[in-house]
Structure 1
Amino acid sequence: MSLTDVIEATRSAVAEDPYHAGAVFDAHCAVVAGTDTRVRVRIRGHEQTADETVARGGADTGPNPVEYALAALGSCQVVTYQFWAAKLRLRLSSVSVEVTGELDRRGFFGLTEHTRPGYTGITVRVRLDGPETRERYEELRREVDRHCPVLDLFRAETPVGTELR
């Protein structure tokens, strides 16, 4: 199924019943027994590991959670570029995204009261190759910036509820 087929099928399903616009995603995370920082991450049928570097008390068996956050942003950008290029009928030969984040660890470790524990700044570098004009690719960038779900998570405040069980 092509991306334009997916876009049209989704448009039709939502037009028929707005209930089809909703989606729920789950991730299950648990510390690996006998470790302090290694986390088993299960999403659908996929399993991954998150861990800290040796310098931060881990065994470096996988990216750490804030690195996964950057990977989520970069990969969501790539996918959103592909979808919106199809929607705009814009030709792309390739898309690559590099994401860099700056974090002040004083927030995580509670070394100061007024330092955020999250990223203080993120830079997204996008490389698009293809036969279209710069103006068409700028139009595409604007649409991606408006519609990328993970970029929205970083830009907007998202309500999060935590339940202790």
Structure 2
Amino acid sequence: MLDTVKNAPVNGLDLQALGEVVEAIEADKSKAIVGFDVTTRWLGQTRSETIVEGFTLAGERIPRSHKIVADEPHELLGSDSAPNPQELLMAAFNACITVGYVAGAALKGITLDSLEIKTRGELDLRGFLGLSDSVPPGYQNVDYEVRIKGDGSAEDFAEIHETVMKTSPNYFNMSRPIKMNGSLRVG
């Protein structure tokens, strides 16, 4: 699969290390299982803070330490101190598919000059506010445009684009329903 693996990184990615990960997963599928979890706490008004303390890869807990802050703009009753949840959702989508485009180009030996993804969604607040049962609280459509430039051909980039749409976790997550298993604990 990775016949083009070279010692020099392409687009900042170590293709030899990627090849080793792929080989390990092909030899033992349990090494492919990765679990992510976060904890979010309300900080007042519409502000929240999410803590990332780690993730699990192949049954091993790997510690991390990151903080993600969210808030709403003044016009939506927040203090505008951070991106809102919808902007974070789009940012997470963009970041995920960015990895796919960069890795896809690197695997083809394509050096990227630039990559930009612009994403836009529009929702109707009547759904969120419970003013109409006929109005969904979320997006009906999300539009995104990928602008990519490098030493690959248009055909190479079209192939990478198709691969990203087939393999990106967040493209998958946003393009079809996910079963959400919620629970509530009071007190």
TM-score by length of 1: 0.92
Residue 12 (str. 1) matches residue 23 (str. 2): yes
Residue 120 of structure 2 corresponds to residue 100 of structure 1? yes
Provide the residue aligned with 2:129 in structure 1: 109
Whether 1:90 aligns to 2:110 is: yes
More strand by share: 2
Q: TM-score, normalised by structure 2?
A: 0.82
Aligned to 1:75: 95
Flag the 1:5–1:58 CA change in 2: closer, same or farther, 3 A: same
What is the number of equivalent residue pairs in this alignment? 163
Gapped regions of structure 1 (runs ≥ 5)? none
8 Å CA contact 1:104–1:120 kept in 2: the answer is no
Contact 1:108 1:116 in 2 (8 A): yes
Distance 1:68 1:96, change over 3 A: same
Please give the root-mean-square deviation of Cα atoms over the aligned residues, in Å. 1.5
Deviations 1:98-150 (A, max 9, x none): 11111111111111112211112111111111122111111111111111111
Deviation at 1:7, TM superposition (A): 2.5
Instruction: Say whether 1:39 aligns with 2:39.
Output: no
Which of 96, 115, 122 aligns to 2:142? It is 122
Greater helix content: 1
State whether residues 49 and 69 of structure 2, in contact with CA within 8 Å, keep that contact through their aligned partners in structure 1. Answer: yes
Worse-matched range after superposition: 18-27 or 35-44? 35-44
Deviation at 1:5, TM superposition (A): 2.7
- % same residue: 29
Gaps of 5+ in 2: 1-8, 54-64
Quick check: 1:37–1:51 contact (8 Å CA) kept in 2? yes
Distance verdict in 2 for CA 1:137–1:162, change over 3 Å: same
